[in-house]
Structure 1
């Protein structure tokens, strides 16, 4: 069973970092597929993908298997602070909100609020990394690597362009984390209480997978918008087609239909459903390990 004894922030941060890197190494190819499908505009230039399998086949056949891990250096560097921020801030916000609302035990409402708050903090950490990743994953990418992306964006679009897509990222991470942690709280309360470590791992895998699936369902329209915004260069004096989240959502809906708001949903949910389970299992395991170290 999971030990509930509190740990200092640094342990939460480290556990989140290990969980994030574990998840990205296993699930990254699906993230590449998701981005390619989200950037695909009806009637636009470039290859057309008819689903996950077709996208994977085309990438491997035309660009090589290594392309499935194109741009991974940026998310690997991002995953440690990103997931660390997610879990550490979520735990801290839970403490803050329980104190502020005068309750001793966490409720589902506070789980959702804590998750959304942690997601917004996480968004500020990930935006530059996400921007680099999106630019590298695009099929028409002309960049030679992460450093080249950063140099050219700063030189051509300005330093602030590194935070292009911040608003849509706040929406994506706030909504995803609210759904993820809110659902985890509910599913854990419905599952039989774990009587062993293996049963706890199973419960966490189930809760995290369901949480990741629901979080993905809720946040995908904002994820589509974020990909479009971050893949559009900032050009002085030129209006951008995709800029703010809600106007962009309506633009995509009007021009491409409702289904376009869920482009890349299947690879996203295949990654972040099981990925959410991996995150929770590894994070919980690392926290239990750190407790044996801290309280010995």
Structure 2
């Protein structure tokens, strides 16, 4: 059997192919890197207990695993698995559709088209994923009482109402739109630069995806800190955090408590999470798209 020439496939491979490839890539991406994401969440939460204050990724990993067990690093992964597949299916389906409509598949550097596609894709997918992300982070925090997605969802809804699942949505969009625009644009242009002949090159997908993810993650970390505060506010016992009502309130808390350095909380694990997961996501996406198309 001849090898699949991934890059020779039609650019517009069909909505169903793109959505299924995106779903499989999304689940792969989030599941593999989940423990590092848990550490990122812990580092971004303003904790008062000395046990829950971490000085770095290694310190957090050691303390969590030794005091709570390794399973604590995987708490909440079921929420990601439930939401990531459909959310990524919507994301990649929209991504390819908008890219095609905006002319991003035509010859030349289509910066505007690729940026528009990356930004548009996230609006619909984040609307679906946001509640799952809230549940995930409530389960990730130190001394979380939740061990089940459904128990957590029911408790948040009962005590805080439906709004709790979407209080961070504007902030999520404020992160995701530039994140995906940056990531998709950097990915496309590195891929074209590194592989101008459009030959089968999985190493190009890995490198381009990793670099694109790292750049986008670093740029949007301050917004991610604010989002974590919003999504975990109900788990806090401190009045200023529990009363945070939006992104600007979260920024005020960060500035008051930690100054400028507070906006970089969790930067290292965020980049460590997103860089390989982005590489895996794009590699998986290109692979599944080609494999499904070849059937």
Q: TM-score, normalised by structure 2?
A: 0.89
Which ranges of structure 2 fall in alignment gaps of 5 or more residues? Answer: none
Aligned to 2:14: 8
How many residues align? The count is 286
Name which of structure 1's ranges 269-278 and 106-115 shifts more when overlaid on structure 2.
106-115
Deviation at 1:172, TM superposition (A): 1.5
Runs of 4+ in 1 over 6 A off after TM superposition: none
RMSD: 2.4
> Quick check: 1:94–1:106 contact (8 Å CA) kept in 2?
no
Aligned to 2:155: 152
What SS is found at the alignment partner of 2:244? coil
Q: Which one of 285, 288, 293 corresponds to residue 283 of structure 1?
A: 285
Alpha-carbon distance between aligned partners in 1 of 2:93 and 2:244, rounded to the nearest angstrom: 32
Aligned to 1:134: 137
Deviation at 1:244, TM superposition (A): 2.1
Aligned to 2:90: 85
Equivalences for residues 239-258 of structure 1 within 5 A: 240-258=242-260
> Quick check: 1:131–1:162 contact (8 Å CA) kept in 2?
yes
Aligned to 1:222: 223
> Quick check: 2:41–2:266 contact (8 Å CA) kept in 1?
yes
Q: Which one of 55, 77, 80 corresponds to residue 75 of structure 1?
A: 80
Name which of structure 1's ranges 107-116 and 66-75 shifts more when overlaid on structure 2.
107-116
> Quick check: 2:75–2:147 contact (8 Å CA) kept in 1?
no
Alpha-carbon distance between aligned partners in 1 of 2:266 and 2:62, rounded to the nearest angstrom: 16
Deviation at 1:254, TM superposition (A): 4.0
Is 1:20 the counterpart of 2:22 in the alignment? no
Aligned to 2:45: 39
Alpha-carbon distance between aligned partners in 1 of 2:56 and 2:115, rounded to the nearest angstrom: 32
> Quick check: 2:192–2:198 contact (8 Å CA) kept in 1?
no
Aligned to 1:116: 119
Q: Which one of 61, 65, 71 corresponds to residue 66 of structure 1?
A: 71
Deviations 1:228-274 (A, max 9, x none): 0011139xxx9854332244224413431222111111111111111
Which ranges of structure 1 fall in alignment gaps of 5 or more residues? Answer: none
Equivalences for residues 138-287 of structure 1 within 5 A: 138-193=141-196, 196-197=199-200, 200-233=201-234, 240-287=242-289
CA gap of 1:109–1:247, structure 2 versus 1, over 3 A, is farther
Q: TM-score, normalised by structure 1?
A: 0.89
